Amino acid sequence: MATASLPALPARPLVLADLVPAVRARNVVLVALGVLFTALLAQVSVPVPGSPVPITGQTLAVVLTAASLGPMRGVAVQVFYILSALVGLPFYSEASGGVDVVFGATGGYVVGFIPAAYLIGLAARRGADRNPLKAAPLFVAGQAVIFAVGVPWLAVSTGMSASQALEAGFYPFIVGGIVKAAVAAAVLGTAWKLVRRS
């Protein structure tokens, strides 16, 4: 008697980190490297006149780590990044850290890294990071999530009005956010091309 064979299950979609050999410590190492990478890019910091929020490389790090590591590891990077600063490690801009910094005027942006990392990682898990033309709008949207948390936090923590918070914490960062999205899209698109050729 013939039996019907079950259709093969589709392979789980990959993010770049899934291409690293699956050794026991892989996820721990990848998350630790993501935290250090975010801390490193946080030191790329340019003050914005009249604003407590500097332009930093952190959002570029969030986009790159989330898209490369996927949603769960991307979120883990940002949670451990916040925890590292809470215990006083100098992982924020200008080598700052501590409770006052984490919960200060710019704290909302860093809290916004968590949902942004999840959403970017989830989209990357579905292949949205492989084509730069598709990835760039995704990365702009991910940064918009960061501002959606950061700007109201800035207003509440400093007593600014909504329009003042937008002037100090959003408008000066629009062009930089678009540039970072384009850079991340180009980097990841190139990485995927190299992977496909190997």
Q: Is residue 23 scored above 90 in pLDDT?
A: no
How high is the pLDDT of residue 163? 97
Residues 12-21, mean pLDDT to the nearest whole number: 81
Q: For residue 165, what are its two tokens?
A: 């918070």
Q: For residue 139, what are its two tokens?
A: 């990365």
Give helix 58-69 / helix 174-197 axis angle, nearest 10°: 30
Query: What's the whole-model pTM score?
Result: 0.88
pLDDT tens, 150-190? 999 999 999 999 999 999 999 999 999 999 999 999 999 99
- Enumerate residues 6+ apart whose C-beta is below 8 A from 28: none
**Residue 126: how many CB atoms within 10 A of its CB?**
10
Q: Is residue 9 scored above 50 in pLDDT?
A: no
How high is the pLDDT of residue 91? 95
pLDDT tens, 121-131? 999 999 999 99
Grade residue 12 by pLDDT with cuts at 50, 70 and 90.
low
Q: Is residue 118 scored above 60 in pLDDT?
A: yes
CA distance 154 to 104: 8
DSSP secondary structure, 3-21, as one string:
-PPPPPPPPPP--GGGGS-
What are the residue ranges of helices labelled H in the chain? 26-42, 58-69, 71-86, 99-102, 107-125, 132-158, 162-169, 174-197
CATH topology of domain 22-197: Arp2/3 complex 21 kDa subunit ARPC3 (1.10.1760)
